[in-house]
Structure 1
């Protein structure tokens, strides 16, 4: 009977066959321990010389790293391993021998590993990170589907900037100038006016010449947009969503979190509601912490976000930033137009901003003013203005960066390990 490593618990004391690769091996004169992986998980296979033919034992002793095999044997409990099961091997069929596999159990430098990313993905820790990423994606779809959202796919090629910045990848679109999307948000606002509550999940691109551990050139964003929803209501949705995702990972990725040696107590504490601190109070807090050079009106960098997060054991919302340092579409705070109804959600443990969100301007005349202030006078923005012309309503939305969220929940240091094939300032291979 064929099965997979992830399903062996259903075949206790049964003989099964699994297609697998040999990730590692150790052997003595009378026994060989095979570390097997099949894509669904990792498991040990034990080959005892006295229990198999001489031919099978010699095959087991001669297996090389990443050789592909069909391995047959009885599934038994193994209380010594976190996985809980192992195979008592009775048969091995070699599919393809692997020779001189470049990633050995010894230590390798990060550039070497990144050059071999197509192979590094096979390793136990990288496998665990990708499984956690997959669980976050699965939980995301569940959360929004359960709460009545419609998934809408915005275009990747656009004729305008969502954020009004110059950090865009330009491309020719036949005879026109086009850009790779830096956010689907403007299109999601249009979708919200048609469907009420929507979300997107797709790739975005930022032409930032940044080499920090928090930045990628290509990354994935989850961007919900909600009609008839205020900024405060949006904050509640955000904290409930993040809490839901963290709980899903805790419930379904215990083995992966253990492989990554993640401190579960820090994740178990992530439940809504989350604390809030205004931008004004954040400036005061930073000055008290020794950041004497920071002045009101300046944006926060990674050291500032980390310092603020140190005072909280949950993600913290920093609210009501100055309008001058935020996007043109954010709604001003009533009676205080110099700041806007927005918030960045800062993850604990130094992982920085994982969500940016705001209530959007719904007044046509104010939006026209913002267009002029930001020099957005081209015809490519006409459709976006029309959303305020034909049945405008209060609406809010946010964007969660998937890779930063994966890094935080899995506890890895750098976002380059949270996406299968990272695109960095100096890396377009493999």
Structure 2
């Protein structure tokens, strides 16, 4: 019977056949240990010369790294294995012999590994990170489905930008200017007026010339938008969503977290509600810690976010930023117009901002004023203004960066390892 490695628990003490690649091997006298993978997982195959005969044993010993083969054997439970099972190999049938595989068990430099990213993703650690990414995506769809959201896909090519065009990729759309999307938010607001609760999940692009471990040029965003929901409703939805993601990974990716050496005790604490501090309180915290380089009205950099997060065991909301450093569509606090009803959710352990969100301006005249203040073309945003003319309601939304979230939950230092083929400032290959 042909099965996958992920299915072996259903076939203990039975003979099975699997299509696999040889990740690594070692031999000890008359026993060969084959580290096998098939995409669904990793398992050790044990080849005993006395049991299989010299011909099959020599064939197994001759296998080269990343050769493909069909392997037949008996599934055995094995408490010593992290996976819990191993395969007592009976036969090996070579499909393709790989030669001179470039990524060996020795240490390799980052640039070399990035040049060979198409092969690096086969390795156990990279495989674990990307399986956790998959689980976060799966849990995202599950969470929003359970909470009554409809998935809507905004365009990638746009004629305007939610937050200005200085860090956007420009292109020509026939005889018009166009940009690769940095956010689908404005379109999601329109969708929320049609469906109530919506979310998008797709690629976004930032032409930010940054080389930090937190930045990618192309990354994926989850952007929910909700009609009839205010700032407080928005924060509750965010903390419930992030808690759901973490608990789903803990439940369904225990082996991957173990492979990565992740401290799951820290993740187990991530349950709603999350702590909240205002921007004013964050500035005071930073001054108390000696960060006198930042003043009221400045945006936070990575060192500031890390310093703030170190005071908390869970992600922390920083709310009520100054209006002048936030986007034109954010609604000012009615009791204090110099700050807006917004929040950034900062991850623990130095992983930075996971989410940015806000209540949106729902008044036509005030939104028009903000467009003018930001020097934005009213004609370009006419369709967006229409949302405030025809049945405007209080509404809120947020955007979660997938790769930073994967990095934090998996404990991966650099976001370049949390996406299959990263696009970085000086990297468009492979």
**TM band (smaller chain):** over 0.9
Distance 1:293 1:39 in 2: 49
Distance 1:266 1:106 in 2: 31
Q: 1:373 aligned to 2:373?
A: yes
Q: Deviations over 1:344-393 (max 9, x none)?
A: 00000000000000000000000000010011125221100110011100
List aligned pairs for 1:103-118, cutoff 5 A: 103-118=103-118
| Partner in structure 2 of residue 249 of structure 1 | 249
Q: Deviations over 1:160-219 (max 9, x none)?
A: 011124100001111111000000000000000000000000000000000000000000
If the length of structure 1 is used for normalisation, what is the TM-score?
0.99
Distance 1:44 1:137 in 2: 29
| Partner in structure 2 of residue 360 of structure 1 | 360
| Partner in structure 2 of residue 3 of structure 1 | 3
Shift of 1:70: 0.1
Shift of 1:110: 0.4
Distance 1:429 1:337 in 2: 47
Query: Does the CA-based 8 Å contact 1:363-1:388 persist in structure 2?
Result: yes
| Partner in structure 2 of residue 212 of structure 1 | 212
Query: Does the CA-based 8 Å contact 1:128-1:259 persist in structure 2?
Result: yes
Structure 2 residues without counterparts, runs of 5 or longer: none
If the length of structure 2 is used for normalisation, what is the TM-score?
0.99
Partner of 1:287, secondary structure, is helix
Distance 1:293 1:13 in 2: 65
Query: Does the CA-based 8 Å contact 1:168-1:207 persist in structure 2?
Result: yes
| Partner in structure 2 of residue 138 of structure 1 | 138
Aligned alpha-carbon RMSD (Å): 0.6
Distance 1:281 1:165 in 2: 31
| Partner in structure 1 of residue 284 of structure 2 | 284
| Partner in structure 2 of residue 348 of structure 1 | 348
| Partner in structure 2 of residue 69 of structure 1 | 69
Shift of 1:54: 1.7
Distance 2:388 2:166 in 1: 25
Distance 1:399 1:302 in 2: 18
Q: Deviations over 1:120-144 (max 9, x none)?
A: 0000000000000000000000000
Distance 2:374 2:166 in 1: 12
Partner of 1:407, secondary structure, is helix
Query: Does the CA-based 8 Å contact 1:164-1:328 persist in structure 2?
Result: no
Query: Does the CA-based 8 Å contact 2:239-2:273 persist in structure 1?
Result: yes
| Partner in structure 2 of residue 94 of structure 1 | 94
List aligned pairs for 1:6-405, cutoff 5 A: 6-405=6-405
Distance 2:361 2:278 in 1: 20
Distance 2:36 2:402 in 1: 30
Query: Does the CA-based 8 Å contact 1:322-1:340 persist in structure 2?
Result: yes
Query: Does the CA-based 8 Å contact 1:318-1:346 persist in structure 2?
Result: yes
Distance 1:306 1:238 in 2: 20
Query: Does the CA-based 8 Å contact 1:278-1:318 persist in structure 2?
Result: yes
Number of corresponding residues: 430
Structure 1 residues without counterparts, runs of 5 or longer: none
Partner of 1:274, secondary structure, is coil
Q: Deviations over 1:392-416 (max 9, x none)?
A: 0000000000000000000010000
Shift of 1:243: 0.3
Distance 1:269 1:292 in 2: 31
Q: Deviations over 1:70-110 (max 9, x none)?
A: 00000001110110000000000000000000000000000
Shift of 1:325: 0.5
